[in-house]
Amino acid sequence: MQRLRSPMGALLLVLLLSLGGTLFFSMTLLNLSMDSLQLLALVMSGSGMVTTIIGGLLYRFGVFGRLQSIFWTMGAIVIVTVGLILINIWTLSRLVFIGSTYLGVMSNVLVFGGMSALVFGYFVTRSMTDRLAALAQAAEKVAKGDFSTRLAVDGHDEIARLTHSFNLMAADLEVVEDEKHKLEQTRRNLVAWVSHDLRTPLANMRVMMEAMTDGIVTDETMQRQYLANSLNEINNLDQLIDDLFQLARLDVKEFKLEYETIALSELVADVVTTLTPKAQTRQIVIACQLQPEADQVACAPDKIQRVLWNLIDNAIKYTPAGERILIESRLIAEAVQIDITNTGVSIPAEQLSRLFDAFYRGETSRRQMEDGARGAGLGLAIAKGFVEAHGGRIWATSAAHSATFSFTLPLRRALRDTGVRRVLTGLRRISS
């Protein structure tokens, strides 16, 4: 009954106003006696109260909802309405002594009007039931997994608003289902790739340790080589675990960007100094051409340093011996662009758009590097996550004998992580 309390007062007020108006016109126009007015008021009050109580009880117990269709509901309303009008007219005619012939004519006209209203109501309700039927069919399709189902929104009534809400719900479900498939594919690839990348170094270390433990390898130089190889495999495992940790933090957005205004040349110098010995062992020269006017950037230094490290280390891995790596920076519009170009290598066009997908590794990158390094295909995905979290973008281009990885950083600190959602979606796009 709680739902009936709010409109109940308005309904009673309408009944009182209609009762008062009827009594006023009956007294002024029909000159009814006081006794007749009292009887009229009693009959109308009783009729109105009984009608209100019956309607409220039917609503309370959901009787209208148990009918087979809206058409029958509208038909019942018309029949009840005509019946109530007939009762009130009959009562009024008896009070004012209207002849039976005139009363019969009025009753027939009223019944005809009720039947006409029923026919008209059929077309009105049919327009509603057709839309509701289409909505029901669309809901069944969604229930079966067809989340691309949409309906045309006709009109501005409650059914139109319900249809609009249905379309929004279907669109949200479609996005959720798409994300579900992507996450499931991510999980499968994660298990497959991590299992492989964990099993390989562990198997290598096991073989070498068993060889030394069983006395198969007794030469001191060979033992030192085995120990060095084992240490290298441990470094590979450490790098894999760190990459997975960073990717997990990006996925759940559990990291903060501690912005500072810092010289880009300092970040580049730190990374180049760390990676130069590795480049020298492969006879690779690293050169820098950084514009002074593009030196000051507002960023999270630890994150951008990780981006530079991933990109330069990736360039060293795939640059042939004797080639060079060039790091450049320049101003473009409201951002600083950093380009890392390595010569002697070319990337197929079909791979360029997938390089920054998590766990993606081109066919040529599946082999272990000469120095024992092994990538899991996470470095570029992590770099993309950090760059776009800053409000920048990252991409790759390739020429006949060179490949360039570029990214931008806004000159001004991003007020919000506008790219985080797109980054997370991109990180989940795993190659099948």
pLDDT tens figures, 129-182 = 788 888 889 889 888 888 888 888 887 888 888 888 999 998 898 888 888 887
The highest-confidence range among 73-77, 343-347, 418-422, by mean pLDDT, is 343-347
Tokens of residue 173, six digits: 């479900």
Q: What's the whole-model pTM score? A: 0.49
In the chain the domains, ranked by start, together with CATH numbers, are 2-173 (no CATH), 177-427 (3.30.565.10)
Tokens of residue 230, six digits: 């084992």
Distance separating the N- and C-terminal Cα atoms of the chain? 57
Which has the closest alpha carbon to 368: 331, 317, 333, 419?
A: 317
Sequence-ordered list of residues with C-beta below 8 angstroms from that of 82, at least 6 positions apart, any chain: 110, 111, 113, 114, 117
Give the chain's largest Cα–Cα span. Answer: 131
The position carrying tokens 């002697």 is 344
User: Whole-angstrom Cα distance, residue 125 to residue 72?
Assistant: 9
What is the percent of the chain with per-residue pLDDT over 90, rounded to a whole number?
13
pLDDT at 400 over 80: yes
pLDDT of residue 427: 38
pLDDT at 416 over 50: no
What is the percent of the chain with per-residue pLDDT over 70, rounded to a whole number?
71
| Residue 211 CB-density burial (10 A; 0-12 exposed, 13-18 middle, 19+ buried) | middle
pLDDT at 56 over 70: yes
Which has the closest alpha carbon to 385: 260, 264, 245, 266?
A: 245
Higher-pLDDT residue of 269, 105: 269
Tokens of residue 347, six digits: 């990337």
Amino acid identity at 416: R
As beta bridge partners, residue 327 has 288, 340
Q: Which helix (H) or strand (E) holds 325?
A: strand 324-332
State the chain's mean pLDDT as an integer.
Answer: 76
Phi, psi (degrees; rounded to nearest 5) at 375 = -100, 150
Confidence band for 114, pLDDT divided at 50, 70 and 90: low
pLDDT at 365 over 90: no
Confidence band for 397, pLDDT divided at 50, 70 and 90: very high
Confidence band for 406, pLDDT divided at 50, 70 and 90: very high
| Residue 90 CB-density burial (10 A; 0-12 exposed, 13-18 middle, 19+ buried) | middle
**DSSP string for 197-218:** HHHHHHHHHHHHHHHHHTTS--
Sign of the CA dihedral with 64 first, then 69, 70, and 73 last: negative
Tokens of residue 142, six digits: 């969604």
| Contact by Cβ (8 Å): 333, 293 | no
Higher-pLDDT residue of 303, 129: 303
The position carrying tokens 């299992």 is 195
